[in-house]
Amino acid sequence: MDYYSIINQFIGATWYFILIIVLVIIIKSSWFKGITGEFMVNILARMFLDKHVYHLIKNVTLPTENGTTQIDHIIVSIYGVFVVETKNMKGWIFGDPDQQTWTQKIYKHSTKFQNPLHQNYKHVKTLEFLLGLNDQQVHSLVVFVGDSTFKTEMPEKVTYGRGYVRFIKSKRQPVLSETEVDSILSKIGAGMLTRSFKTNREHVKHVNHIVNEKKKENMCPKCGSPMVLRETKNGQNAGKQFLGCSRYPKCKGVLNIT
């Protein structure tokens, strides 16, 4: 019996199996979904927007007062600067422009995620400040790609795939001159951080820090568990809202809402 041949076949099969597992993990990762979504938006822009009128800049990281902000796509034209946030998601999407978080529902499983309009608000304001523009010259736009369905009414600036091209083309009133467009492109090119693994890693680190700090704000001061919104039922404070520990009655930690 050729044991070396058997061992080599086994090793070959094992590495093939490991490679498949790694590929599945990568494909299912949020990083890959983000890259795929951004790629689809890039393709749609290049196919349906005149490159001589609409200038696409992708994956822009800009410095801010307390770190960085990362923008998926910026499209500059005489009709304004379009700031595009991409979401590659599936399932039912529930949300309201004023809510802090929206909901993704796949069968019976629900997941909360940050309101992308609020997420894009910082991007818009950063660009307005850096470029000296007003809110009539900068347009916020959220694009969902993937097999998702809106189950609540969305504003026109939240759309699916090619719908974002229609939104951009619907703006027909020039708000910038050709000279201003050239100046904006130069300013963004000069102000954005170099695209690199280090730049992305530092931005992710900054975002994680912000998320962790926000989590701490709503943690129970006694046991560290999440706090939930409650309302006083009786007494002189009846109707007053406060944050109470989710482990109540085992833990009676309270935070007042100011």
Q: Which residues sit opposite 244 in a β-bridge?
A: 228, 254
Average pLDDT of the residues in 149-164: 90
Residues 75 and 144 in one domain: yes
Q: Say if 70 falls within a structural domain.
A: yes
Strands 109-114 and 55-64 turn out to be: unpaired
Residues 249 and 161 in one domain: no
Q: Tell me what pLDDT residue 250 has.
A: 78
HSE (CB half, 13 Å, CA atoms) of 247? 12
Token pair of 68 as six digits: 């960085």
Query: CA-to-CA distance for 214 and 209, rounded, in angstroms?
Result: 9
Q: Tell me 117's DSSP state.
A: H
Residues 169 and 229 in one domain: no
Q: Say if 22 falls within a structural domain.
A: no
Check residues 176 and 246 and name the one with the higher pLDDT: 176
When pLDDT is cut at 50, 70 and 90, the band that residue 196 belongs to is very low
Q: pLDDT digit string (tens) for 21-62?
A: 655 554 455 544 445 556 677 788 888 899 999 999 888 887
Q: Tell me what pLDDT residue 145 has.
A: 86
When pLDDT is cut at 50, 70 and 90, the band that residue 16 belongs to is low
In the block, tokens 């130069």 appear at 186
Q: Say if 239 falls within a structural domain.
A: yes
Neighbour tally for 174: CB within 10 Å: 13
Query: CA-to-CA distance for 115 and 87, rounded, in angstroms?
Result: 11
Average pLDDT of the residues in 64-82: 85
Name the average pLDDT for the chain.
76
Residues 129 and 234 in one domain: no
Query: CA-to-CA distance for 32 and 55, rounded, in angstroms?
Result: 25
Residues 188 and 222 in one domain: no
Q: Say if 19 falls within a structural domain.
A: no
Residues 251 and 126 in one domain: no
Q: pLDDT digit string (tens) for 98-123?
A: 888 899 999 888 888 889 999 899 88
Q: Say if 177 falls within a structural domain.
A: yes
Contact 100, 110 (CB under 8 A): no
When pLDDT is cut at 50, 70 and 90, the band that residue 247 belongs to is confident
Average pLDDT of the residues in 164-169: 92
* Lowest mean pLDDT, pick from 19-23, 93-97, 197-201: 197-201
Q: Say if 6 falls within a structural domain.
A: no
Average pLDDT of the residues in 165-181: 94
Q: What are phi and psi of 83, to 5 degrees?
A: -105, 110
Residues 246 and 179 in one domain: no
Q: Say if 209 falls within a structural domain.
A: no
Q: pLDDT digit string (tens) for 18-30?
A: 666 655 554 455 5
Cis peptide leading into residue 97 (ω within 30°):
no
Is the pLDDT assigned to residue 165 strictly greater than 70? yes
Average pLDDT of the residues in 80-91: 91
The alpha helices in the chain, defined as continuous H runs, are 3-28, 30-48, 116-131, 163-170, 178-191, 197-217
Q: Calculate the CA 212 to chain-centre distance.
A: 17
For residue 98, give its domain range.
27-193
Q: Say if 210 falls within a structural domain.
A: no
Token pair of 85 as six digits: 């946030």
Is the pLDDT assigned to residue 199 strictly greater than 70? no
When pLDDT is cut at 50, 70 and 90, the band that residue 139 belongs to is very high
Is the pLDDT assigned to residue 239 strictly greater than 90? no
Q: Domain tally for the chain?
A: 2
